[in-house]
Amino acid sequence: MSKAVSVLNGTRFSGLATVEDAGLQGMITLRGDLGSKALKAAVKAATGAEVPAQGSISVAENGAAAWMSPDELLLLVPFEDAVAKTADVAEALKGEHALAVNVSDARAFFRLSGEGAREVLGKVSPVDFDAAAFKPGQFRRSRLAQVAGAFWLNEDGSFYIVCFRSVGEYVFKLLSAGAHPQSKVGVY
Amino acid sequence: MLILECPYCGVKAEETELAAGGEAHLKRYGPGSSDDEFHDYLFMRENPKGVHFERWRHANGCGKWFHAARCTMTLEVFGTYTAQTSVPTQEILDKIAAKRPGWTWREFADGKK
């Protein structure tokens, strides 16, 4: 089998904030009734995390579950385990009105860290990034300039950003331009 | 800038995160209807100065369709509500009645259910 490579293979840019390709990340899209017991158990088994509350992400040691919409979750698992875990989740939800798909290869994954992280993301997304409004653990699907993207804030003040792989290079260049050392606005 | 709260994910989304879906609560006239009914269903739309009901989609977000009631003149938003309904919810109607006494829009009007 050919060797899997993330969209920009670990490229990194440092300016107001550090933008880096966060490497390969297993991602499973799961649609179904988020209130159902079988689904909660399947999510727990696959990621170790609970089903998250609206607009948030629940992180466990070796995985996470993010709230995408009232009937959709994004499960984060180690890249090598994505295929097997997708099958496990599908098996556990047999008979339920649910669908699990491995989308790992269809996504790009970035990390945005440093002092200016809120500001850099604020330049490209119509979201309030004030410290009082956007807190660690919050997960938001929105827009990154011209393309769809999702992001969440970690306890250490860094963001993880998920977008389609086809626009991965665009998003990296976008964030890098936003993190240009001479482009400080200083709002957050 | 129009800001609508998505009733499905609770996000206060601004216009660029949404996609407009045209007039709300249209009744479809398909096969078996008269030519006039079909014509009106296809082409006749409200163009009010004041209270208006629209469909919106949280396109760069949860992807769900929802309804919004707003004023086209002042851009005041009366509220957003589920897409799983063919008439505005009572809560929304009450809110509009409180702010725009005597309003009318298609078959809906102040004090009418």
Write out the two tokens for A9. 């293979």
Does the residue B93 lie in any domain?
yes
pLDDT tens for A123-171 read: 999 999 999 999 999 999 999 999 999 999 999 999 999 999 999 999 9
Does the residue B88 lie in any domain?
yes
- The residue segments making up the domain with residue B11 are 3-105
State how far the Cα of B18 lies from the Cα of B63, in Å rounded to an integer.
9
Domain count, chain B: 1
pLDDT tens for A31-76 read: 999 999 999 999 999 999 999 999 999 999 999 999 999 999 999 9
Does the residue B113 lie in any domain?
no
Q: For residue B16, which residues of chain A lie inside 8 Å, CB to CB?
A: 126, 143
Q: Is A70 on the interface with B (CB under 8 A)?
A: yes
pLDDT tier at B110, thresholds 50, 70, 90 = confident
Q: For residue B63, which residues of chain A lie inside 8 Å, CB to CB?
A: 69
State how far the Cα of B92 lies from the Cα of B10, in Å rounded to an integer.
17
Long-range contacts from B12-16, C-beta under 8 angstroms, 24+ separation:
B13/A126, B13/B58, B13/B60, B13/B61, B14/A126, B16/A126, B16/A143, B16/B60
More confident residue, A86 or B112: A86
Does the residue B112 lie in any domain?
no
Does the residue B110 lie in any domain?
no
State the nearest Cα–Cα gap between B108 and chain A, in angstroms: 30
State how far the Cα of B107 lies from the Cα of A139, in Å rounded to an integer.
41
Q: Which of B9, B58, B82 to mutate to test the interface with A (most CBs of A within 10 A)?
A: B9
Here the CATH number for the domain that contains residue B86 is 3.30.2270.10
pLDDT tier at A188, thresholds 50, 70, 90 = confident
pLDDT of B113 higher than 80: no
Q: For residue B62, which residues of chain A lie inside 8 Å, CB to CB?
A: 68-70, 72, 141
CB pairs under 8 A between A and B: 34
Strand partners, B20: B56
- Region A109-119 average pLDDT: 96
Does the residue B34 lie in any domain?
yes
Residue type, A134: F
Whose tokens are 């003149």? That residue is B73
pLDDT of B77 higher than 90: yes
State how far the Cα of A92 lies from the Cα of A188, in Å rounded to an integer.
44
Does the residue B91 lie in any domain?
yes
Closest residue by Cα to residue A144 from A163, A131, A117 = A163
- pTM, whole model, 2 decimals? 0.90
Strand partners, A110: A21, A161
CA separation (Å) from B104 to B10, B45, B46, B87? 28, 15, 11, 14
A148 and B14 within 8 Å at the Cβ level: the answer is: no
